[in-house]
A and B are shown apart, each in its own frame.
Chain A
Amino acid sequence: MKNGKKVVIGVIGSDCHAVGNKIIHHVLETNGFEVVNIGVLSPQIDFINAAVETKADAIIVSSLYGHGELDCQGMREKCEEAGLKDIVLYVGGNIVVGKQDWTDVESRFKAMGFNRVYRPGTPIEITTEHLKADLGI
């Protein structure tokens, strides 16, 4: 059953981990979301352009190679610039280098404007539930 909500997903930056991306796609789809998958190696602007054209409700950014922090900077500002004023913005994966204190990492990404930030190993099912809650399904 479709729930009428649309999510842009993809792997940001110079990161080409394709398997997790496919799993996210599959799980979101079985939960009724319409998924716009822009694939791996995607710069911020590709997420935003896709969200503009498709009038998406949310963007989920994946990053596994440790450089997520660099790749995600300024994304919320660019969303606003593109007219995606209140779009729901998530990020997850191995988003920072090395073992860092999670609360610190989370607060840094939240300050960047991400609504939810997921630590390594978070099952996509949890994100799916959050997404349903945040989009009022």
Chain B
Amino acid sequence: MKCYLTIDFGSTYTKLTAIDVAGERILATAKDITTVEDDIMIGFDNAYRKLVNRIEKELPISQVEFVDKIACSSAAGGLKMVAIGLVPELTAEAAKKAALGAGARVIKTYSYELNSHEMLEIKNSAVDIILLAGGTDGGNKECIIHNAKLIVEHNIDKPVVVAGNKAASDEVERIFAESNIDYYLAENVMPKINKLNVEPAREEIRKVFMNKIIEAKGMKKAEDFISGILMPTPAAVLKAAEVLSEGTDDEDGIGDLIIVDIGGATTDIHSIGKGDPTKAGVLLKGLEDPFAKRTVEGDLGMRYSAISLLEAGGTRKIRAYLNDIDKQWDVKGMCNYRHDHIKMVPQTKEEILFDEAMAKVATELSMTRHCGVLECIYTPMGTMFNQTGKDLLNAPYIIGTGGVIVHSENPRGILEAGKFNPAEPIHLKPENPKFMVDKTYILSSMGLLAQSNPDLAVKIMKKYLIEV
């Protein structure tokens, strides 16, 4: 039996998925604790043994031929990046969006000509890749050249992806080449004012991740067994979202969609769709959003970020979701407990209820931050609206993934918190979406599979994502 094996080296679990090609189905899945401190292959071997056991209930493992073994990783902190641009709202923001879409955690965004202090901060941070942008094509050259020189001056030993003004790229290349900076050139992230071009930079980042970062994180050994760690896990999820939405030549996609991924440290939202205004009299403003957009909320998470989630949402919001009118719950205490006990798995009914209330807050806030916003303007021609970001009012699907949603008995309740709220009509969140759950936890796996067999990936996702 021909099978694909996908591996997700997560920060907590290493997850394996075996996919039966002819049967168009998931043959088996297994997971075990990621062992990045000792040797990443120990955790992998444990998970692999479990996988083999499960497969052997159906057929001898000798009959299974793994045609491809592909992996993604968010272990050892995932991919950490800084983005450098010129104007904060323009090229710096474009660079940040490109890095996020490549699956990175953006530690900080810098703008204008940097000073030594900022460059030292970058040098001393645990960043994996620097994305250097600035200037539209044919526009400002001085800023990116200044920053390139500063990178050389400070002897930065991190890979630099250059995606700025094309008219300056020869000069930047010369500066870097003369001083052995490990650099990679990509097309400008913002070739024209307010015009995004994030794909080429994302692709370059993915290549650097594959060739360099994996090695730096001690995961080189894994490469002996598998065909290569292709991308950071969030990039795989975004890839899965893209292919499920758009489909392939032979397999129709399901159209625009949103993925809500709630983790212990962050909540990620992915949206696929143009996000053009759905109502008349609305004008688009500012930098456009990428068609495949990912945002990461570092302050919204179930464990590491439990305290910041409380700060962002406030006790009132959590109590509202708990239906706690008499203030019976010790909201603060429960958030603190989760922050101090990262590995806590909710057991009692009370613990489960509280986790779900937190998840609802995370969903609501992260959707508010991800979706576009309207601003009302009074003009002599009457009331007009400015739209910044994507209008997702008509998005047909919200898909939930991440532990708290996947294991919940009421995933729909959590996802509904991300819906349009008539009390806050300026936030362009979906009005009447259908809700689906990634019950078998296959999204990142399908993103990997989509690299080599997109048809199969779409078919399997349509089969395994369950409407709730």
Residues of A within 8 A of B (CB): 6, 14-16, 34, 36, 38-41, 45-46, 49-50, 52-56, 65-66
Contacts and interface: CB of A to CB of B under 8 A. Distances in A.
Contact of A65 (B190, B285, B380, B386): B380
Contacts of A6: 138-139
B87 A16 contact: no
A41 B139 contact: no
B302 to A, nearest CB: 38
A-B interface, 5 closest residue pairs, ranked by CB to CB distance from nearest: A54-B139, A55-B140, A49-B87, A14-B377, A55-B139
A54 B379 contact: no
B136 A53 contact: yes
A54 B138 contact: yes
B146 to A, nearest CB: 12
Interface string B267-289: 00000000000000001011000
Interface residues of B, number: 26
Contact of A49 (B89, B283, B380): B89
Nearest to B167: A55
A6 B136 CA distance: 12
Contacts, number: 62
Contacts of A46: 286
B86 interface: yes
A54 B140 CA distance: 5
Nearest to B190: A53
Contacts of B192: 36
B433 interface: no
A14 B193 contact: no
Given A53-B91, A55-B141, A16 B193 contact: no
A16 B139 contact: no
Contacts of B91: 53
B383 to A, nearest CB: 10
B90 interface: yes
A41 B378 CA distance: 11
B181 interface: no
B193 to A, nearest CB: 5
A53 B193 contact: yes
A65 B379 contact: yes
B90 A49 contact: yes
B135 interface: yes
Interface in B131-156: 134-136, 138-141
23 contacts: A6-B139, A14-B377, A15-B379, A16-B283, A16-B377, A39-B283, A39-B285, A46-B286, A49-B87, A50-B90, A50-B193, A52-B87, A53-B86, A53-B87, A53-B91, A53-B190, A54-B135, A54-B136, A54-B139, A54-B140, A55-B135, A55-B139, A65-B380
